[in-house]
Amino acid sequence: MANPKRRHSQRRTSTRRAHDHLTAHSLSECPNCHERKMPHRACPKCGYYKGREVLEMEESK
Amino acid sequence: MRHLKAGWKLGRNTSHRRALLRNLVTSLIMEERIETTVVKAKAMRPHVEKMITLGKRGDLAARRQAGAYLMTRAAVDKLFELSPRFGDREGGYLRIVRTGWQKGDGAEKAFIELLGAERVVEEKRQKRAELRAKRAAEAKKAMEEAQAQQQAEGGGEPPAGGEEKE
């Protein structure tokens, strides 16, 4: 079986991991309720898309 | 070349996939709007459009071809009833709008609807609201009746306690 020949330094590990990160979604503003929403999707807050397209939203109690 | 035009396999074998798509297409024609995953919506789109093209042709042969694909006779009737409203369009009869994510597996959900389904969807929504209001009124009435009965029986005492004493 292949085995490591040399110890892996902390620095090597962290250098490798320097690019391991998540990126934030780019969000757009809902033209109806001005909440931030994901682009090309119906707004989860108000259910609007392209000024119409109403999904049935639950009324707040 | 047909490179990169393979379509969607949906993790199913041929017969399972065909059955799924036929069910989806039949449901969409009956309901005008259905909610499903984005991938299924995209996979079914060409099939629905082909059905509507048959519906626009409107002759007996087209009716039989549609009947061979759709699951119910009612769906065939509905298809030939609604297809004339797409007379001036050449394809693009459908709208897919992404609506969020599914709990459990995180699949992206969307609704797919026939263009001009807004009226039908609105009617359905109203009917549902009416039904809900009716049911709420009935529940309220039943609760009031139960309370009145309770007061008449025990003179304000809870009925469970009264039964234990006897």
**CA torsion sign, B94 to B97 to B98 to B99?**
negative
Q: If you measure CA to CA, which chain A residue comes closest to B118?
A: A53
Helix (H) or strand (E) holding B109: strand B108-114
Residues 114-153 of B with CB under 8 A from A: 118, 125
The overall average pLDDT reported for chain A is 87
Q: Which residues neighbour B28 within 8 Å (Cβ) at sequence distance 6 or greater?
A: B34, B44, B48, B112, B113, B114
Q: Mutate which of A35, A41, A49 to disrupt the B interface (most B C-beta within 10 Å)?
A: A41
A18: number of Cβ within 10 Å: 7
The alpha carbon of A8 is separated from its chain's Cα centroid by a whole number of angstroms, namely 33
Q: Mutate which of B98, B103, B109, B115 to disrupt the A interface (most A C-beta within 10 Å)?
A: B98
pTM for this entry: 0.78
For residue A41, which residues of chain B lie inside 8 Å, CB to CB?
97-100
Percent of chain B at pLDDT exceeding 90: 73
Q: What is the ipTM of this complex?
A: 0.73
Q: Which amino acid is residue B107, in one-letter code? A: A
CA distance B109 to B26: 19
CB spacing of B98 vs A52 below 8 angstroms:
no
> Residue A61: its pLDDT value, please?
39
Given pLDDT bands bounded at 50, 70 and 90, which one contains residue A45? confident
CA distance B96 to B38: 8
pLDDT tens digits along B15-39:
999 999 999 999 999 999 999 999 9
Long-range contacts of B92-95, Cβ-Cβ distance < 8 Å, separation of 24 or more:
B92/B49, B93/B48, B93/B49, B93/B52, B94/B45, B94/B48, B94/B49
pLDDT for residue B110 is more than 60: yes
Q: If you measure CA to CA, which chain B residue comes closest to A58?
A: B129
> Residue B33: its pLDDT value, please?
92
